[in-house]
Amino acid sequence: MKIYLLLCTYLFSGVALFSQNLQLHYDFGKDRKYFTATLEMYKADSFGSTFWFVDFDFNSANTPRGISMAYWEISHDFYIPGIKKIKGFEELGLHIEYNDGVQAEKINDSVSIGYNLTSTWLAGLSYPVRIGKVVVGTMLLYRYPRGATSADFQFTTIWYQPFCKGRLVLTGFIDIWSQDKLYETGKELVFQTEPQFWVALKRHIFIGNETEISKNFPFGPNDWKISPTLAFKWEF
C-alpha cells in the first residue's frame, strides 16, 4: 500500500517538520480479506525532506501465522537553491528513492517459503503544480528494478486536500510506470492509484478508507482490479 500522506500533508502545508502515523487497513478486495498495517514517517531538514513507509500484510492464505509480506519505500527530496518557492518550499527538487520487500508463500498449514520482492532504485525530478487552491506534487523518475533488461520510467502525482477545518481529508497518489513483461519480451505499462478519504474523530485519530485501483500490477496482463479498505489512523 504505497502512501504519500505525510509527504502531501506536511510538504504542501508547510506546518510541520516531523511527523509519523500508524494505519491499520482491512482489505475487502477479491481474494484478499486481510489486514495491512502501515507505518509512515516524514522529516524535513536543511537539505530537503525524507519520507518512508513500511507495509505489513497479515494474509493467512499465504502464511499460516503472522506477517505474510513486508514492503519498504524510502525517499529523499533535495532542494535546489535559488529556485522560486511555494509556501516556503522550493518548486523544483531532486528525488531519490529505494523500494524493497519480502513475501511469504504457504506450502501447507505449518510450512511457508519466503522470497525477495524486486528491489528498485528511482531517481529524477519533483515539481509541485498548483491547481486552484490545491498543490499537486508531480515526479518524473528514472526507474531501475533489479534484474530488469533495461531501465524504466515512472510518473507520480500526489495530492492532499482538507475540508471543514481539517476534519475531512482527501488524499492519495497515482503511479504510472513501465516494466518488463513477465512471460515474453518487451515492456508494459502499469497503472496504480490509491485515493483515500479520512474523517477526524479527534485531533490525531482518523477513520476512513482507501481504494486501490490497478492495471497490470504487479505483472500483467490482467484486468482492472479494485480493492477497497476500511481504515484506522493514529498520528503521533
Domain parsing of the chain, residue ranges: 5-213+227-235
Q: Quote the CA–CA distance of 149 and 151 in Å, as a whole number.
A: 7
Q: Which of 214, 213, 211 is nearest to 228 (CA)?
A: 211
Domain 5-213+227-235 has CATH 2.40.160.40: yes
Q: Are strands 205-215 and 187-193 parallel, antiparallel or unpaired?
A: antiparallel
pTM score: 0.88
Q: Residue 228: what residue type?
A: P
Which cell numbers hold the place of 210? 482507501
Query: Residues with Cβ < 8 Å from 150, sequence gap 6 or more?
Result: none
Cα gap 234→21, rounded to integer Å? 6
Would you state the pLDDT for residue 89? 56
pLDDT tens, the chain, 236 aa long: 554 444 444 444 444 467 899 999 999 988 899 999 999 999 988 888 899 999 999 998 888 778 999 999 999 999 887 776 666 556 789 999 999 999 998 888 777 788 899 899 999 999 988 888 788 999 999 999 998 989 999 999 999 889 898 899 999 999 999 999 988 889 999 999 999 999 999 989 999 999 999 999 987 777 899 999 999 999 99
